[in-house]
Structure 1
Amino acid sequence: MSLENSASSRVPHPLPSQRSGEIAQQVTGVSYHVGSLPILTDVTLGVRYGEVLALVGPNGAGKSTLLSVLSGDIAPSSGSVSFEGRELAQWPARELARARAVLLQANQVAFSFTAQQVIDMGRAPWIGTPQSDDDERAIRDATSAADVGHLTQRGFPHLSGGEKARVSLARVLAQETKVVLLDEPTAALDLKHQESVLQIARELAQRGRAVIVVLHDLSLAGAYADEVAILANGALVARGVPGDVLTEERISEVYGAPVRVLSDPDTGRPVVIPRRAL
């Protein structure tokens, strides 16, 4: 579902315009180890409101770990993580849940909830606040944007992987937070819904949100991200606009596979394809 012509109510209302371009989150000198194994090494990265930042890199590069550090789900072994200039560890859990929403790779729930109940969970942080008056609208808009209205009465465990991913995205959208973190949100989706998810990410950024998305598809990153950050072996290799970062030489070196980078004739954005021998 394209959001280009959608009603403005389908995604969270805009933040004040002065937020756009301001730093939402900052990691400085962050390292993370599991025992003696380094997963992240001295990563410094800022995330701005009004932008989509794509985290890319080979398997095991540290992308999901960095997203977990940004979300506060894991604490770094060293370095600092801040949210709007305040140390992330100082944020109470309920307050943090009202500020950032997280979509994980594994879309599982412990009990046999319906899809509707899973979407409704996105409003839990707002219970007892004036914003709870918006619950019905937020849930309705999120359900529409994620294209899951026909799934709401089905049991979540019985959905396909792609359907679970879209229902989980609806939960994240219903949460209506300033920062949205998405870990491989397109992995289980068909072509139509891959495009839809990234269009939603762009729309969120245009409305002042900060969106951080882990992607494996470099062409999707090139098409929709304002900036791309490449990680390899736990270190930040490059960060910048897609056309500057996604070069044939850099991608071939980081991924260990030769590629060709073309320019999309419609958008001018980079398209990455592997070089294949006949």
Structure 2
Amino acid sequence: MTPIDASAAVPTDRIGNVAQQVTGVSYHVGSVPILSNVTLDVRYGAVLALVGPNGAGKSTLLSVLCGDIVPTTGSVACDGRALGDWPARELARARAVLLQSNQVAFSFTAQQVIDMGRAPWIGTPEADEDERAIREATAAADVGHLTERGFPHLSGGEKARVSLARVLAQETRIVLLDEPTAALDLKHQEAVLQIARALAEQGRAVIVVLHDLSLAGAYADEVAILERGSLVARGTPGQVLTEQRIGEVYGAPVRVIPDPDTGRPIVIPRRTH
């Protein structure tokens, strides 16, 4: 993967400002609570990692942030404006979303899927940037050799990278990534998180759902831990990813050691044999 170009960076006066905010959000399916009174803000210029055990509510919270799910109670805002007040096309120019499924309804080629990222800009002056944006996104996601292949025939990891290219081509100031490393090999896991860091360094707000706590520790500015739909901790990786807290939340003993190169936390299971 190649570095992200900075030509579409967010203006520096936005960096540090709140990009998205959830306030007192709960979400129920029938009588079952999935999220419970979550309050969280996401700032420009930072990577926020959402972590927690299976079923903790991470992907649901991301769906609330992107507007796919309307909370049962509480409010969600984007740039200080209620999410429900945004026209769909305008919202698509503000935030891009990478979902877990990476599926499309028809047999598009990988190139056509990437091109879809530019759809929100049709009819705007920014449409003049389509060719550049698609070219740079394709290179950044390392999928140039896949563009002529049918998307349904790609491997899970290849689909994930093509879908990431679509998100990058969209060139939004807010980027939401749901388990973007789940189907990827070691090289591409690292590359995707390096892209997330590069986007944040351009001033974008990046929210990423991760299962790998060491990846969260290595690349996130802040980590938020969810447990049974509640936000139980938020802070820098060093503050949040402690042996005691991880053991309590995940029900598994771990060892947290500093990376010898960066000093950031590495989380490994404690094994008896």
User: Are 1:218 and 2:205 matched, yes or no?
Assistant: no
**What is the CA deviation profile of residues 158-203 of structure 1, one whole-angstrom value per residue up to 9, with x for unaligned ones?**
0000000000000000000010000000000000000000000000
User: Are 1:116 and 2:127 matched, yes or no?
Assistant: no
Relative to the length of structure 2, the TM-score reads: 0.99
Aligned to 1:45: 40
Amino acid at match of 1:244: Q
* Deviation (angstroms), 1:12: 5.5
Amino acid at match of 1:221: A
- The structure 1 segments of at least 4 consecutive aligned residues displaced by more than 3 Å after TM superposition are none
Separation of aligned partners in 1, 2:11 and 2:134: 22
Aligned to 1:153: 148
Separation of aligned partners in 2, 1:194 and 1:105: 14
**What is the CA deviation profile of residues 217-237 of structure 1, one whole-angstrom value per residue up to 9, with x for unaligned ones?**
000000000000000000000
SS of the residue aligned with 1:82? Answer: strand
Aligned to 1:256: 251
Report 1:29-44 matches (<5 A).
Answer: 29-44=24-39
SS of the residue aligned with 1:244? Answer: helix
Separation of aligned partners in 2, 1:277 and 1:267: 28
**Number of aligned pairs?**
273
Separation of aligned partners in 1, 2:78 and 2:8: 21
Aligned to 2:239: 244
SS of the residue aligned with 2:116? Answer: helix
Aligned to 2:266: 271
Separation of aligned partners in 2, 1:15 and 1:202: 14
Amino acid at match of 2:256: V
Structure 1 counterpart of 2:188, from 193, 196, 199: 193
Amino acid at match of 1:44: T
Aligned to 2:229: 234
* Deviation (angstroms), 1:15: 1.2
Separation of aligned partners in 1, 2:168 and 2:80: 24
Which stretch has the larger CA shift, 12-21 or 238-247?
A: 12-21
Question: How much is the aligned-residue C-alpha RMSD, in angstroms?
Answer: 0.8
Separation of aligned partners in 2, 1:100 and 1:139: 17
Aligned to 1:208: 203
Separation of aligned partners in 2, 1:44 and 1:109: 33
SS of the residue aligned with 1:26? Answer: strand
Aligned to 1:23: 18
Report 1:76-115 matches (<5 A).
Answer: 76-115=71-110
Relative to the length of structure 1, the TM-score reads: 0.97
Separation of aligned partners in 2, 1:12 and 1:42: 38
Amino acid at match of 2:147: T
Separation of aligned partners in 2, 1:207 and 1:66: 24
Q: Is the 8 A contact 1:12 1:204 kept in 2?
A: no
SS of the residue aligned with 2:77? Answer: strand
Amino acid at match of 1:111: F
**Amino-acid identity (%):** 80
Aligned to 1:175: 170
**What is the CA deviation profile of residues 122-157 of structure 1, one whole-angstrom value per residue up to 9, with x for unaligned ones?**
000000000000000000000000000000000000
Aligned to 2:66: 71
Unmatched runs of 5 consecutive residues or more in structure 1: none
SS of the residue aligned with 1:98? Answer: helix
Separation of aligned partners in 2, 1:216 and 1:12: 31
**What is the CA deviation profile of residues 35-85 of structure 1, one whole-angstrom value per residue up to 9, with x for unaligned ones?**
000000000000000000000000000000000000000100000000011
